Amino acid sequence: MIASARPVHALLIAIMLALAGPGDLLADEAGTKAPAENAVASFELDNGLQVVVIPDHRAPVVTHMLWYKVGSADEQAGKSGIAHFFEHLMFKGTKNHPPGEFATRVAEIGGQENAFTSYDHTAYFQQVRPEALKTMMSYEADRMRNLVLTDEVIDVERNVVLEERRQRVESSPGALLGEELDATLYQNHPYRIPVIGWMHEIEALNRDDAVAFYNRFYVPNNAVLVVAGDVEAEQVRALAEATYGKIARGPDLSARLRPQEPEQNTRRTVTLSDDRVSRPSLRMAWVVPSYETGAPGEAEALDLLSEILGGGPRTRLYEELVVRQGVASSVGAYYQGDAVDDTSFELYGAPRGQAALEEVEDAIVAEIAKIAAEGVTEKELARAKRRYQRGYVFARDSQSGMARIYGTTLTTGGSIEDINEWPARIKAVSAEQVKQAAQALDQGRAVVGYLLPAQSQEDDAR
Amino acid sequence: MIASARPVHALLIAIMLALAGPGDLLADEAGTKAPAENAVASFELDNGLQVVVIPDHRAPVVTHMLWYKVGSADEQAGKSGIAHFFEHLMFKGTKNHPPGEFATRVAEIGGQENAFTSYDHTAYFQQVRPEALKTMMSYEADRMRNLVLTDEVIDVERNVVLEERRQRVESSPGALLGEELDATLYQNHPYRIPVIGWMHEIEALNRDDAVAFYNRFYVPNNAVLVVAGDVEAEQVRALAEATYGKIARGPDLSARLRPQEPEQNTRRTVTLSDDRVSRPSLRMAWVVPSYETGAPGEAEALDLLSEILGGGPRTRLYEELVVRQGVASSVGAYYQGDAVDDTSFELYGAPRGQAALEEVEDAIVAEIAKIAAEGVTEKELARAKRRYQRGYVFARDSQSGMARIYGTTLTTGGSIEDINEWPARIKAVSAEQVKQAAQALDQGRAVVGYLLPAQSQEDDAR
């Protein structure tokens, strides 16, 4: 049960590129076929549940993922953390099954399960033998509507979540800085609020909040079922109708219209000086379009810019800061493309040895400026696109990777058509578009987070 | 019609201290009596309207103020500006009176009128001859429930409000910086959102929003009527019953529970570099307790700290930065004590001549540190208290000042008893309490706004 704020979009692109690539890319070393694009089936049950089936017959395994179109950004103001808290509650008992029975069952049959909550979605998944799929569906459908939410259940789990927050956030200066950086980057949109929720608001979550959340969002017409693996579409349809199909459609949900960001006119910094920090580091962020909000090609260009700047070794930041100048021990870029609303583009780095954090910052700024002024070469653009493709060799081994692509896209406002068109859209990105993307990363509107050892605060904080 | 974010609390304290002071302070130069504390009457109509009467017979004038317990911090997420927008709409026509008739009537009888919206309240007032009071009440009661809100009225006024925002905010780098500084200081509480609203949200406000806002908040049980002037309580009661008393009580309103701030771990800066700026300046802010949220004495100590640091000439910041070091051309302090929730304490300054902004900042920081380490002297504490008293000589000439005290206090969660006890509570503040207040103004959690000329961004922005 993790509150992941970071779905791996690069992976998505990687797999999609590969799917649309030349045929030989679709065969792995053993020569078996990866799931072909046209084999993916999609249909909707009468109660509104959207179903996607991704046949993958390489092994007798099936990945069963149920995605809800609700994440922390859909929470009511003042109730931060309820989406993630609710993910925990889904592992409690139902009217039909005592607490722990579902998990025990998964373990008994040698399966794996997990769940995660992000800004825009919450997902539950199990990976099991195909014979167990119906059982999984039956349990998953059961807890969609039959959870037993008593004060006692809530009280116990609240403590678990609070402890999770203490371990993952309160005890980590980097996580604390990250939270306050996000809340400074976004000033109106709920992406400013941590997925796990703020301590004082988690503490106040109660049974009424949980019940209201459950009844509003945990309905078949707000969910997407993704099944990948050694199954066929019609088989899945029959199983889905026999399980999920028996659940009544819930009330219609209103559109996910979150408050949007105002115009940003300022540069902002957030500094955490903490004696638990031994090595300083920085993060530099901007609000940028997502795949959902961007004009055609904008998000794709940001993905490639992220790859060119900081996608790994042989990228600009690494080559310049780590290899050539030797001022950074680590550096990178991150773009959260899958998002219902405008999202974040981030660069980060830490100095090496005696180098100052400011040298790292200046060098990062210089690399952005260089692309903004001179653009990227066709060669490195092609290399960036190829890097996505190479990622496929790793990615296709993960059946759940495919399921994640569909789940993430379909719960953040995208369509199966978007997924199909993705590879072509990435391929179509021009060097000029990447240059324009870099030009939008204006220093006058950057939001920079500094993580500093306690003693250096006076010197570096401004 | 102003969207004032800054009620003058210092004035309030000044008047209250004076009221509780020695008798000779209560007589002005002509020897007439200022309103005596015990003459203030308060009662509630059957429909829930709270009424306060402050007799003041120095002149044949009456101040009629109707306060609503709703401000921008009560707005629904995504609907910023509706409280202030609605203040504008209240000057449109009603079922009984065409647009402009009320204002014309006030002008004809030589009266004055105005209205203002803040975070926690919205108020409407007229100052007229006592004979016109019933007419004012009649018009004011009428528009509490009988406004005609057509799409046309909304559309026209939206443009007026947008133009107001353009003139007051968009064309002012200082105002733009202030907005983003507030939104960086507060990360969860609606005080982060400008009272006038964000441009893109004002643009989207429509008739449905206005009607919902009106029906929820503009009801007698959410209002406080304050009448100060040449009237008696029983006379006001009769008039209020004949006018406001005829309005039906509205639905009960829920408590004003706004999302509260999470723990703050970081220092933050907000920098606006703009070629319209000729002289740099800075603002340094903290979230601190208000009169409503503070422990006994906390808000009072913050008020006195603000006075001692930056209440005018002969205060610490002025003496040190302007007079002795000569690095600042202006410097000051501001504490927004009257607030339903935790509020802001702010210091500000601008360099003189060739002095650097950093010198001003360092000197401000040093003055806070000095009080935090060494405290204040009994002499300057007494002087700060006396300065409030001297403010009375000016303040008591303003009948509306008294009305504002009651309106502000009663619409931010305070009581008449709080007002009565205020002078004694200010008098009781110890030097140690002021020292503790200064200790809470920690540099590791300061939020600093820099307003810079465009060219200096690269040098000063971090």
CA distance A73 to chain B (A): 12
Q: What is the structure's pLDDT at A3?
A: 39
More confident residue, A461 or A164: A164
Q: Report pLDDT for B33.
A: 42
- Which residues in chain A have their CB less than 8 angstroms from residue B176's CB? 265-266
Predicted complex ipTM? 0.87
Report the pLDDT value the prediction gives residue A386, as an integer from 0 to 100. Answer: 87
| Chain A environment of B177 (Cβ under 8 Å) | 265-266
CATH topology for B35-246?
Answer: Cytochrome Bc1 Complex; Chain A, domain 1 (3.30.830)
Q: Which among A161, A144, A158 is positioned nearest to A215, based on CA atoms?
A: A144
The predicted-structure confidence for A337-370, as pLDDT tens digits, reads as follows 999 999 999 999 999 999 999 999 999 999 999 9
A184 and B77 within 8 Å at the Cβ level: the answer is no
* pLDDT band (50, 70, 90) for residue B422: confident
Q: A111: which 2 tokens?
A: 């399966």
CA dist A372 and B31 (Å) reads: 73
Which pLDDT does position B137 carry in this prediction? 98
The size of the A-B interface in CB pairs under 8 A is: 121
Given this model, what pLDDT does residue A457 score? 46
Residue A351: strand pairing partners: A328
Is residue B28 scored above 50 in pLDDT? no
What is the predicted pLDDT for the residue at A35? 45
Partner-chain contact B257 A77, CB within 8 Å: no
Residue A11 has pLDDT above 90, yes or no: no
**Conformation bin of residue A41: beta by default, left when phi > 0, alpha when psi is -120 to 50:** beta
Q: From the candidates B87, B164, B179, B346, give the one annotated as an active-site residue.
A: B87
| Pairing of the two strands B223-229 and B343-351 | unpaired
Query: What string of DSSP letters covers A38-66?
Result: GG-EEEE-TTS-EEEEEE-TTSS-EEEEE
Using the beta-carbon criterion (under 8 Å), do A268 and B263 form an inter-chain contact? no
Report CA-CA distances (Å) from A76 to A70, A127, A201, B56. 12, 33, 11, 47
**Pick from A198, A422, A153: nearest CA to A303:** A422
- Rounded to a whole number of angstroms, the distance from the CA of B242 to the nearest CA of chain A is 41
Global pTM? 0.90
Report chain A residues touching chain B, CB-CB < 8 A.
77-78, 80, 176-177, 179-180, 183-184, 187-188, 192-193, 198-201, 257-260, 262-274, 358, 361, 443-444, 448, 457, 461-462
Beta bridge partners of A228: A54, A63
Q: Which two structure tokens, joined as six digits, stand for B243?
A: 């006018």
A38 pLDDT more than 70: no
For B460, nearest residue in chain A (alpha carbons):
A462
Residue A390, pLDDT score: 66
Which candidate from B78, B187, B198 shows the least CB-CB separation from A192? B187
- Neighbouring CB atoms inside 10 A of A257's CB total 10
Choice among A75, A87, A292, A359 that is catalytic: A87
pLDDT over 90 at B274, yes or no: yes
Across the range A198-220, mean pLDDT stands at 98
Q: How much is the pLDDT for B396?
A: 56
Determine which of B193, B268, B342 to mutate to test the interface with A (most A C-beta atoms within 10 Å).
Answer: B268
pLDDT tens digits, residue range A250-273? 999 999 999 999 999 999 999 999
Question: Hey, are the CB atoms on A266 and B265 less than 8 Å from each other?
Answer: no
B268-460 has the same fold as B35-246: yes
**Which one-letter amino acid corresponds to residue B175?**
A
Whether B198 and A176 lie within 8 Å, measured CB to CB: no
Pairwise pLDDT comparison (B241 vs B314), residue with the higher score:
B241
> Token pair of A350, please?
């830490």
- Which residues touch A258 (CB under 8 Å, ≥6 apart)? A73, A74, A189, A190, A340, A341, B78
Partner-chain contact B265 A462, CB within 8 Å: no
**Residue range B426-451: average pLDDT?**
97
Would the pLDDT of A72 be above 60?
yes
Whether B87 is catalytic is yes
Report d(CA A427, CA A382) in Å as an integer: 9
Residue A297 half-sphere exposure, CB side, CA atoms within 13 Å? 11
Residue A304 has pLDDT above 50, yes or no: yes
Architecture of the domain delimited by A268-460: 2-Layer Sandwich (3.30)
Does the pLDDT at position B141 exceed 80? Answer: yes
**Residue A343: how many CB atoms within 10 A of its CB?**
29
What pLDDT sits at residue A182? 98
Domain boundaries, chain A: 9-246, 268-460
pLDDT of residue B420: 85
- The upper half-sphere exposure of residue B196, i.e. CA atoms within 13 Å in the direction of its Cβ, equals 23
Find chain B residues with C-beta within 8 A of A341's C-beta.
none
User: What's the pLDDT at A419?
Assistant: 87
Q: DSSP string of A99-147?
A: TTHHHHHHHHTT-EEEEEE-SS-EEEEEEE-GGGHHHHHHHHHHHHH-B
Place of tokens 């290399």: A383
Q: Please judge whether A266 and B262 are an interchain contact, meaning their C-beta atoms are less than 8 angstroms apart.
A: no
Contact A96, A243 (CB under 8 A): no
For B378-397, write each residue's pLDDT tens digit: 999 999 998 876 655 455 56
What's the rounded mean pLDDT across residues B261-265? Answer: 97
CATH class of the region A9-246? alpha beta
pLDDT given for residue A37 in this prediction: 43
Q: How far apart, in whole angstroms, are the C-alpha atoms of residue A190 and residue B153?
A: 32
Q: Is the pLDDT of residue A7 over 80?
A: no
* One-letter identity of residue A409: T
User: Residue B184 is nearest to which of A258, A268, A272, comparing CB atoms?
Assistant: A268
Structure confidence at residue A313 (pLDDT): 82
Mean pLDDT (whole number) for A102-108:
94
CA distance A409 to chain B (A): 25
Query: Which span out of A21-25, A182-186, A395-399, B422-426 was modeled with the highest average pLDDT?
Result: A182-186
Question: pLDDT exceeding 90 applies to what percent of chain B?
Answer: 83
Q: What is the distance between the alpha carbons of residues B61 and B230, in angstroms, rounded to a whole number?
A: 6
